[in-house]
Amino acid sequence: MITLSHIVKRFGQATILNDISLTLPERSVTALVGPSGGGKSTLLRSINLLEQPTSGTVQIGAHAIEFAPNRKVAFSEVQKIRSETGMVFQNFQLFPHRTAIENVMEGLITVQKWSKGKAKARALELLEKVGMAHKADAWPAELSGGQQQRVAIARALAPSPKVLLCDEPTSALDPELAGEVVDVLSRLASEGTTMVIATHDLRLASKIAGQVVFLEAGQVVETGSAEQIFRDPQRERTRRFVSSISAAQTL
């Protein structure tokens, strides 16, 4: 389970996240949606502490860290939280000098200290899961965007994290390639993978998310099931946002 309690994030005088508290159950899929600049990516990155909150508490499983202004958190404590998560970025961020299978193996060998043989077996298993086993020896430059993102998902899953965090995983892809990634994430969701996804892609959110959180100006405007948020939102601001994005994505 992920618990965020009274999370505040400030950059200088700007408040990016303002007193956010959420509970995200194990084996759930949560989509963070809202306008650009609303705080989706910052909140997502606060879960694995790529962005450290100014104040508030982040808890994943048994590990919790309380943040406060001018309080320095030990790196070892940060690593305990990060070790529970896998991260999928918008622009794939594969190592260009490593093949697909080497990209998946890299963290297992250098961070987890696995043997090369054990890491290779795990990497092949995950590439098979995301439909990329046939491209195991391909270089990133030889792969389409959708294929690169599927390799990135396999890499994020390699150390068996408790939660998979996805930051706009389809936004850099055209609709056809995005569909490949949506299918992979949908399969992972059906297998019970805990996921939090920051996205503008309402098709992705509506297909795989159980819970949707609508953010604007660093605050939670509305939360609910995907069906409720996308079909019958309770707040007028949510209704206008969903209508505008739905219209844009049908053009």
pLDDT digits (tens, 9 = 90+) for 56-95: 999 998 899 999 998 899 999 999 999 999 999 988 889 9
pLDDT tens for residues 172-226?
888 888 888 889 999 999 898 999 999 988 888 888 999 999 999 999 999 999 9
Show the tokens assigned to 237: 């601001």
* One-letter amino acid for residue 51 of the chain: E
CB 41 within 8 A of CB 198: yes
Q: What is the pLDDT of residue 247?
A: 52
Show the tokens assigned to 84: 């529970």
Other CB atoms within a 10 A radius of the CB of residue 52 amount to 14
- Name 128's Cβ contacts closer than 8 Å, sequence gap at least 6: none
Give the chain's end-to-end CA distance (angstroms, integer).
Answer: 38
Show the tokens assigned to 204: 């992705």
**Chain region(s) in the chain for CATH 3.40.50.300:** 1-61+71-84+162-251
Other CB atoms within a 10 A radius of the CB of residue 227 amount to 12
- The pLDDT confidence band at residue 250, using thresholds 50, 70 and 90, is very low
What topology is assigned to 1-61+71-84+162-251 in CATH? Rossmann fold (3.40.50)
Q: What is the pLDDT of residue 248?
A: 52
Mean pLDDT of the chain: 91
Q: What is the pLDDT of residue 251?
A: 40
